[in-house]
Structure 1
Amino acid sequence: MRGLILLAHGARDGAWSRPFVELAARVRAEHPGREVRNAYLEFIAPDMVQAGAELAQAGCHAVDILPLFLGAGGHVRKDVPALLQRLHTDFPGVHWMLHPAVGESPLLLDAMARIATGLHDAAALSREERA
């Protein structure tokens, strides 16, 4: 069985995690046999190691880790590899695959460009509706 960790930064405000919880639900709906866990670097549980342990205990032989960051800053370049090494040590029978930060994907950049350009269109439409 293959698992997926959706790794986000975390925040003190619990409402902050709503989009990430929704993302996990959408992935589960599209891939019902896949084990999916949210994980956070700070403030919110579970952290990456806890989520990885859950997936290993659920029988996952391979786990993809997708950092939900717009860029590969210090967390992605330093903190995440250290946590990944801990998972390799604690669960050597699992193949852990760290993927690039989601913000490096052309698909996300295209989606953000569509949103940004849509702001102008939405503002123009709103002005027309008020006139």
Structure 2
Amino acid sequence: MATGNARGIVLLAHGSRDERWREPIEAVAARVTALDPQARVVCAYMELAAPDLRTAAAALIASGAKALRVVPLFLGMGKHAREDLPLQVEALRQAWPQVDFQLAGIVGEEPELVDLLARIASKS
């Protein structure tokens, strides 16, 4: 992570005990870094894996991030995205009022992802 950058991105996924489950999440993080080398990108998980959102945010803030975008890598609007995540982001805002926290929409509702999934599903 570069020390001069003030922007961090947390890619938040559900989590799993299976280490292989993290590979696609980490691949997204690597791709974000390739697309935006100035961004500080970390993965975090709601449960069953570490780090959690608070720990990931704390690491980015400790490294100098002044703004954090939390991107939920969920396909649908379940309980975590609808109830748990807004509460966690609000707790982060309370803990670090000097940091600008942005909660992105869940990726599964992005038209580009819906289109991509449809194209993948319709391949012959």
Q: TM-score, normalised by structure 2?
A: 0.93
What one-letter code is carried by the residue in structure 1 that aligns with 2:17? R
Q: Which one has the largest radius of gyration?
A: 1
What residue is the counterpart of 1:32 in the other structure? 37
Distance 1:52 1:15 in 2: 23
2:19 partner letter: G
- Cα distance in 2, alignment partners of residues 43 and 14 from structure 1: 10
Q: Alignment partner of 2:8: what SS?
A: strand
1:2 offset after TM fit, Å? Answer: 1.0
Indicate the residue corresponding to 1:89 in structure 2: 94
Confirm whether residue 54 of structure 1 aligns to residue 59 of structure 2.
Answer: yes
Amino acid at match of 2:100: H
Once superposed, which parts of structure 1, at least 4 consecutive aligned residues long, lie more than 3 Å away? none
Structure 1: any 5+ residue segments left out of the alignment? 122-131
The one of 99, 108, 125 aligned to 2:113: 108
Identity across aligned pairs (percent)? 45
Q: In the TM superposition, what is the alpha-carbon distance from 1:61 to its structure 2 partner?
A: 1.1
| TM-score, normalised by the number of residues in structure 1 | 0.88
How many residues align? The count is 119
Greater percentage in helix: 1
Between the aligned partners of 1:72 and 1:65, the Cα distance in structure 2 is: 15
1:107, CA displacement in angstroms? 0.3
The alpha carbon displacement at 1:42 in A equals 0.6
How far off its partner does 1:33 sit? Answer: 1.0
Unaligned ranges ≥5, structure 2: 1-5
Calculate the aligned-residue CA RMSD, in Å: 0.8
